[in-house]
């Protein structure tokens, strides 16, 4: 049986499912291919983000933060909590429930927008009469579909190290690390990037002794210098043992755990004994069995599908979005590309300013930024001024007991245009949205400083940092 569509989207993660919805809103007949199966063997929409990424990790983040604040912060509020303990199985089942609600939510959105979910693996098989052919296999007989346009949104998968086989039991990638059945006494993490720091923090809060081994000599090299220093101070104070410039050697089983031979930055041989290991050394684009060659496409040397600024591949009518193309591997970047491509297909003229895509690291405190860092501005020879304001001087932050961190605004020396905003704070992921809006509208630091902000709120720190960047005139600092 063959099915005909205006648009076939391959992949139903944030890039693909959002592209499918926007295209359906614009009147297209859309089929979306997705092969994901959850641990119960059921087909599921949502991709990595909803099933084994952003959403489940935020559920565990909240549970582990609640446990930590009961043990360490409640007493400051005059609340005594005795005998707090962790039921990991219940915590995991709460997380699984949230994932289930979210993935079912997308099924509802597909029905509402009359999008056909093509369950199985999608593969390009060629063209016929100017239309693209996609074979969907996995559920019963393979089905052949065709469409005038195709969006490839197949995402990415965890990068593994050749000598460290991931079994998602003892040695985990992001998937296994979100399903560990009991709190490991000693947890090793390879890679101090977003996933390593985020999941290392979750398990530390639940009681693990966490050691992170990072290959680079610098901590969080992509972040602004001031943020890097503050984050290092906060994370090491919390008890994360982070070793930079580490070279990983042999990993062997020892008893019920693992023994990791590594060399420190001074060249000395070291051994890390741990009960579990998380390998979080980046992700690679996923193009397995996609049939790119059948339509004359190929990946670049790093495995990405080459696209232009409008996510057009070399074959007109085939587009690619999200982790499978250049740019940061972030769900919100994939979503925006999905919307852009659907609107381009519909003849509209959307545009993404990649400089205005925010970055977030969900540690505690969180880290978020948008635009340029101090290092990038200096390297570009751009003259700038900066303003910084601490949460320790904000009444709301003191009231909630989360007063670590600051907002830092970088603005053009001559025009006062905001060039970058960098936040370390408990709610940085929400606070950064104001800075993104400001930068999209080419606001000046003074513009942010002149806008009324609610009191008492954490957002006042954004205003104070903007005022600090505008002639050093913070009001409360």
Q: How far is the CB of 265 from ligand NAD (least distance, A)?
A: 12
Closer CB to ligand NAD, 162 or 347, in the complex: 162
> How many residues make contact with ligand NAD (CB under 6 A)?
24
Q: Which of 190, 325, 409, 419 lies at the binding interface for ligand NAD (CB under 6 A)?
A: 190
Q: How far is the CB of 20 from ligand NAD (least distance, A)?
A: 22
Q: Which 8-state DSSP code applies to residue 54? A: H
Q: Of 310, 309, 302, 260, give the one whose Cα is nearest residue 282.
A: 302
Q: Answer left, alpha or beta for residue 236, where phi above 0 means left and psi between -120 and 50 means alpha.
A: alpha
Q: How far is the CB of 199 from ligand NAD (least distance, A)?
A: 9
Q: Tell how strand 418-425 and strand 406-412 pair up.
A: antiparallel
Strand partners, 171: 277
> Which tokens sit at 332?
């919100």
Closer CB to ligand NAD, 115 or 274, in the complex: 274
Query: Contact between 361 and ligand NAD (CB under 6 A)?
Result: yes
Query: Contact between 105 and ligand NAD (CB under 6 A)?
Result: no
Which part of the chain contacts ligand NAD (CB under 6 A), choosing from 5-13, 86-94, 208-216, 335-343?
208-216
SS3 413: coil
Query: Contact between 330 and ligand NAD (CB under 6 A)?
Result: yes
> Which tokens sit at 294?
């059948």
Query: Contact between 191 and ligand NAD (CB under 6 A)?
Result: yes
Q: Tell how strand 209-213 and strand 241-243 pair up.
A: parallel
> Which tokens sit at 291?
């049939």
Catalytic residue status for 455? yes
In contact, 476 and 393? CB cutoff 8 Å: yes
Give kind and range of the element (H or E) at residue 435: helix 428-440
Which part of the chain contacts ligand NAD (CB under 6 A), choosing from 9-17, 225-233, 327-335, 374-382?
327-335
Backbone angles phi, psi at 287, to 5 degrees: -130, 20
- The three-state DSSP-derived secondary structure of 227-285 is HHHHHHHHHHHHCCEEECCCEEEEEEEECCEEEEEEECCCCCEEEEEECEEEECCCEEE
Query: Contact between 180 and ligand NAD (CB under 6 A)?
Result: no
The Cα-based distances of 291 to 32, 133, 137 in angstroms read 17, 10, 13
Residue 198 buriedness (CB in 10 A; 0-12 / 13-18 / 19+): buried
Q: Which of 217, 282, 303, 399 lies at the binding interface for ligand NAD (CB under 6 A)?
A: 282
Closer CB to ligand NAD, 283 or 396, in the complex: 283
Closer CB to ligand NAD, 278 or 318, in the complex: 278
x-or-dash string of contact with ligand NAD, 52-81, rule CB under 6 A: ------------------------------
Query: Contact between 466 and ligand NAD (CB under 6 A)?
Result: no
> Which tokens sit at 286?
């996923």
Q: How far is the CB of 346 from ligand NAD (least distance, A)?
A: 29
Residue 393 buriedness (CB in 10 A; 0-12 / 13-18 / 19+): middle
d(CA 331, CA 440): 19
Closer CB to ligand NAD, 123 or 283, in the complex: 283
x-or-dash string of contact with ligand NAD, 219-258, rule CB under 6 A: ---------------------------x-x----------
Query: Contact between 448 and ligand NAD (CB under 6 A)?
Result: no
Q: How far is the CB of 239 from ligand NAD (least distance, A)?
A: 20
Give kind and range of the element (H or E) at residue 156: strand 156-158
> Which tokens sit at 116?
């056909």
Give kind and range of the element (H or E) at residue 389: strand 384-390
Query: Contact between 196 and ligand NAD (CB under 6 A)?
Result: yes
Q: Which of 10, 55, 151, 192 lies at the binding interface for ligand NAD (CB under 6 A)?
A: 192
Q: How far is the CB of 348 from ligand NAD (least distance, A)?
A: 28
d(CA 251, CA 411): 47
Q: Which of 43, 86, 215, 315 lies at the binding interface for ligand NAD (CB under 6 A)?
A: 215
Closer CB to ligand NAD, 282 or 289, in the complex: 282
Mention every residue, 6+ apart, whose C-beta is less than 8 A from residue 5: 28, 29, 30, 31, 116, 145, 146, 147
Q: Which of 52, 134, 194, 421 lies at the binding interface for ligand NAD (CB under 6 A)?
A: 194
Closer CB to ligand NAD, 328 or 399, in the complex: 328
Query: Contact between 195 and ligand NAD (CB under 6 A)?
Result: yes
Query: Contact between 360 and ligand NAD (CB under 6 A)?
Result: yes
Closer CB to ligand NAD, 160 or 312, in the complex: 160
Q: Which of 117, 132, 235, 362 lies at the binding interface for ligand NAD (CB under 6 A)?
A: 362
> Which tokens sit at 444?
């000046």
Closer CB to ligand NAD, 128 or 159, in the complex: 159
Q: Of 235, 230, 323, give the one whose Cα is nearest residue 284.
A: 323
Query: Contact between 213 and ligand NAD (CB under 6 A)?
Result: yes
| Residues in region 126-165 near ligand NAD by CB under 6 A | 161
Give kind and range of the element (H or E) at residue 94: helix 88-112
Active site residues: 455
Residues of the shown chain interacting with ligand NAD in the complex, contacts defined by CB under 6 A: 161, 190-196, 213-216, 246, 248, 280-283, 328-330, 360-362
């Amino acid at each position: 049986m063959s099915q005909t569509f205006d648009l076939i989207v391959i992949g139903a993660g944030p890039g693909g499912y959002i592209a499918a919805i926007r295209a359906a809103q614009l009147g297209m007949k859309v089929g979306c291919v997705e092969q994901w199966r959850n641990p119960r063997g059921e087909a599921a929409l949502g991709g990595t983000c909803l099933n084994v990424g952003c959403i489940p990790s935020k559920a565990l983040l909240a549970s582990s933060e609640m446990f930590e604040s009961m043990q360490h912060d409640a007493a400051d509020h005059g609340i005594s909590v005795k005998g707090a303990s962790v039921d990991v199985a219940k915590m995991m089942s709460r997380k699984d429930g949230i994932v289930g609600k979210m993935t079912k939510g997308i099924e509802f959105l597909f029905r509402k927008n009359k999008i056909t979910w093509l369950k199985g693996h999608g593969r390009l098989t060629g063209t016929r009469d100017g239309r693209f052919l996609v074979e969907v296999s996995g559920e019963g007989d393979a089905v052949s579909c065709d469409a005038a346009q195709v969006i490839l949104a197949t995402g990415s998968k965890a990068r593994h190290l050749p000598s460290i086989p991931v079994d998602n039991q003892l040695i985990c990638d992001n998937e296994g690390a979100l399903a560990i059945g009991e709190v490991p006494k000693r947890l090793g993490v390879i890679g101090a990037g977003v996933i390593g720091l985020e999941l290392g923090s979750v398990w530390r809060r639940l009681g693990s002794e966490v050691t992170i081994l990072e290959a680079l000599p610098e901590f969080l090299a992509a972040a602004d210098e001031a943020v890097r220093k503050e984050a290092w101070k906060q994370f090491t104070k919390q008890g994360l043992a982070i070793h930079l410039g580490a070279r990983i050697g042999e990993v062997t089983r020892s008893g019920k755990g693992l023994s990791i031979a590594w060399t420190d930055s001074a060249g000395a041989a070291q051994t890390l004994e741990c009960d579990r290991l998380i390998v979080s050394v980046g992700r690679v684009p996923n193009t397995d069995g996609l049939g790119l060659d059948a339509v004359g496409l190929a990946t670049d040397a790093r495995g990405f599908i080459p696209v232009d600024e409008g996510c057009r591949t070399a074959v007109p009518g085939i587009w690619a979005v999200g982790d499978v193309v250049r740019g940061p591997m972030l769900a919100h970047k994939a979503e925006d590309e999905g919307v852009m491509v659907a609107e381009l297909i519909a003849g509209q003229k959307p545009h993404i300013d990649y400089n205005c895509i925010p970055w977030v690291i969900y540690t505690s405190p969180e880290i978020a930024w948008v635009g340029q860092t101090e290092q990038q501005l200096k390297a570009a020879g751009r003259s700038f001024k900066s303003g910084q304001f601490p949460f320790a001087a904000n009444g709301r932050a003191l009231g909630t007991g989360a007063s670590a961190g600051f907002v830092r605004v970088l603005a053009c020396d001559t025009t006062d245009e905001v060039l970058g905003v960098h936040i370390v704070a408990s709610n940085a992921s929400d606070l950064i949205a104001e800075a993104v809006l400001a930068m999209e509208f080419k606001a000046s630091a003074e513009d942010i400083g002149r806008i009324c902000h609610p009191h008492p709120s954490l957002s006042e720190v954004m205003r104070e940092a903007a005022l600090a960047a505008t002639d050093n005139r913070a009001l409360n600092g």
